[in-house]
């Protein structure tokens, strides 16, 4: 894990690996990564980024970074439509009582 507080008025232009989150911190941006070695044999991790100035409000820039983080995350599965006619799916009720399911 690493957290970096960027210089005043600066934002991330590029970063690798993918960020976990960005937050506003004392009028600046803080960026947070969880870092893992590429394999079990590796003992080191690598991180790189570049900075650029931003010209809008701090909260707007933090929101932009977090949106970019969210959109960059790989989805494990595709969204699948599971439309089932209401009449084909009866109501199922499950209640647990003292470890037993009825």
Alpha-carbon gap, residue 9 to 55, rounded angstroms: 8
Q: Give the number of other CB atoms < 10 A from CB of residue 56.
A: 9
Quote the pLDDT of residue 95: 40
Domain parsing of the chain, residue ranges: 2-36+48-72
- Along the chain (102 residues), what's the average pLDDT of each consecutive run of 10 residues? 94 92 96 89 88 94 94 63 44 39 38
Say whether 43 sits in a helix, a strand or coil: coil
DSSP label of 27? T
DSSP-assigned beta bridge partners for residue 48:
16
Alpha-carbon gap, residue 80 to 89, rounded angstroms: 18
Helices (H), the chain: 58-72
């Amino acid at each position: 894990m690493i957290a970096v507080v960027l210089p005043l008025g600066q934002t991330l232009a590029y970063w690798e690996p993918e960020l976990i989150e960005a937050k506003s911190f004392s009028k600046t941006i803080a960026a947070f990564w969880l870092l893992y070695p590429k394999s079990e044999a590796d003992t080191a991790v690598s991180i790189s980024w570049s900075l650029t100035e931003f010209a809008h409000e701090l909260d707007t820039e933090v929101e932009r970074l977090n949106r970019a983080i969210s959109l960059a995350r790989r989805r494990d599965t595709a969204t699948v439509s599971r439309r089932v006619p209401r009449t084909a799916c009866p109501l199922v009720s499950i209640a647990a009582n003292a470890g037993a399911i009825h």
